[in-house]
Amino acid sequence: MKISKVLGLCVLGSTVLFGANSLVTNAMNSGLKPIPQSKFELLKLIDDAKDPITSQKVELGKKLYFDPRMSKSSLISCNTCHNLGLGGVDGVSAAIGHGWTVNPHHLNSPTVYNAVFFKAQFWDGRSPHLADQAQGPVQAAPEMAAPPKLVEKRITSIPEYVSEFKKAYGDDVKIDFKRITSTIAIFEKTLITPSRFDDFLNGSNEALNKHEKEGLKIFLNKGCASCHTGIALGGTMQPFQIASKYKFINVGDFKGNAESMVKTPTLRNITETAPYFHNGQFWSLKDAVKEMGSIQLGIKISNKDAGKIVTFLKALKGRKPDISYPQLPDSSSTTPHPDAK
């Protein structure tokens, strides 16, 4: 009696469905998870009761994300290096910022899409919070080079921004650097890209074709999901086995991390985010797969198997949210001028 009740519940839920598809079960048991289909479930994952997502904050955050006045030069916006039309990246090996400065540690710009699902932000994983991440590049000298006070002066000198902050947070809002960047992070939380792989995990067996399923099997059997895990298929810290090969130990933000832990990049939209690795060293996805097999898993992945894994990875290309390009509010006579020096 009790058992039939449980079975009854399972029929209503998804257990039976998953049970019927051993590949899904295998993927889920390996730690992979879909982006929830239900908006309610998704919100539970990404929303913060202390600073809930609202349409006003998202619209304002989008403007700030696209606004180059967030940088010292007024030429570089968040979107410059995390281009939402290019998989959320810049497509160059190492980020290039203020004064055409190449990132001194030759670090590659990670994608902003699905970053809300990362357990760790930054390559060295020094914060779990998107809002902290948003504070980094704005200030960093080789990136946007804008001191927090300059950003606050710029934004509060623009009447329409002040009015939008009040609408979003109430009349007594303090428009400081923290609030400005956390508003950007709220926009970033909406940059989620469900793919056919999610449809598959969510129960649509036909969402992947047989070649993609074969690639997924190999991906799981080789152990790729041990690092590329969770909803993001990445976004957690892992030891980078032979990091020294990539001149990676104790440089810049990575200092004080004797184990050379590095954030595993997400595999979502991976065909859009070349070149690969923290230093953008690999342009070929197949080569990157083989290299990871070698240095992370200690195995040789054949050319054929790597090709099949890539076939699966292509199915992680997600459906991007529609983004209307924002009209940014006019500067005023008190807006600090651009400074390209």
DSSP state of 266: P
222 touches 110 (CB < 8 A): no
**Chain residues 147-176 in contact with its own copies, contact rule CB under 8 A:** none
CA atoms within 13 A on the CB side of 83: 13
Which is closer to its own copies, CB of 56 or CB of 331?
331
Q: Residue 96: beta bridge partners?
A: 102
Among 272, 279, 296, 315, contact with its own copies (rule: CB under 8 A)? 272
Residue 44 beta carbon to its own copies: minimum distance, rounded to whole angstroms = 28
Tell me: does residue 206 bind its own copies (CB under 8 A).
no
Q: Looking at beta carbons only, is 36 or 275 nearer to its own copies?
A: 275
Q: Residue from 100, 170, 171, 172 that binds its own copies (CB under 8 A)? A: 100
The token pair at 55 is 């349409």
**Cis omega (within 30 of 0) on the bond before 275?**
yes
Closest CA to 194 of 313, 40, 110, 315: 315
- 326 contacts its own copies (rule: CB under 8 A): yes
Nearest approach, Cβ of residue 215 and its own copies (Å) = 18
Site map for its own copies, 49-88, x if CB under 8 A?
A: -----------------xxxx---xxx----x--xxxx--
> Would you say 216 and 28 are in contact if contact means Cβ atoms under 8 Å apart?
no
Contact between 307 and its own copies by CB under 8 A: the answer reads no
C-alpha distance from residue 215 to each of 10, 94, 221, 300 (Å): 29, 30, 10, 16
The size of the interface with its own copies (CB under 8 A), counted in residues, is 39
Cβ at position 263, least distance to its own copies in Å:
23
Examine residue 340 and tell whether it contacts its own copies (CB under 8 A).
yes
Q: Which stretch binds its own copies (CB under 8 A): 12-20, 52-60, 179-187, 316-324?
A: 316-324
* Residue 90 binding its own copies, by CB under 8 A: yes
Q: Does 99 interact with its own copies (rule: CB under 8 A)?
A: yes
DSSP-derived 3-state class of residue 96:
strand
Q: Which residues contact 165 (CB under 8 A, 6 or more apart)?
A: 60, 173, 175, 179, 183
96-105: b (≥16 Cβ within 10 Å) or e = bbbeeeebeb
Could you tell me the smallest distance in angstroms from the CB atom of residue 284 to its own copies? 7
Cβ neighbour number for residue 274 with a 10 Å cutoff: 18
Minimum separation from the CB atom of position 36 to its own copies (A): 23
**Contact status, residue 319 vs residue 195, Cβ threshold 8 Å:** yes
| Sole window of 10-18, 95-103, 116-124, 183-191 interacting with its own copies (rule: CB under 8 A) | 95-103
Q: How far is the CB of 235 from its own copies (least distance, A)?
A: 22
**Is the CB of 153 or the CB of 178 nearer to its own copies?**
153
Concatenated DSSP letters of 19-56: HT-HHHHHHHHTTB-PPPSSHHHHHHHH--TTS---HH
Q: Around Cβ 196, how many Cβ atoms within 10 Å?
A: 19
Answer for which of 262, 274, 301, 309 binds its own copies (CB under 8 A) is 274
- Looking at beta carbons only, is 4 or 327 nearer to its own copies? 327
Euclidean distance between CA atoms 220 and 39, whole angstroms: 28
Which positions lie near its own copies, rule CB under 8 A?
66-69, 73-75, 80, 83-86, 90-93, 96, 99-100, 102, 271-272, 274, 283-284, 320, 322-328, 330-331, 333, 337-338, 340
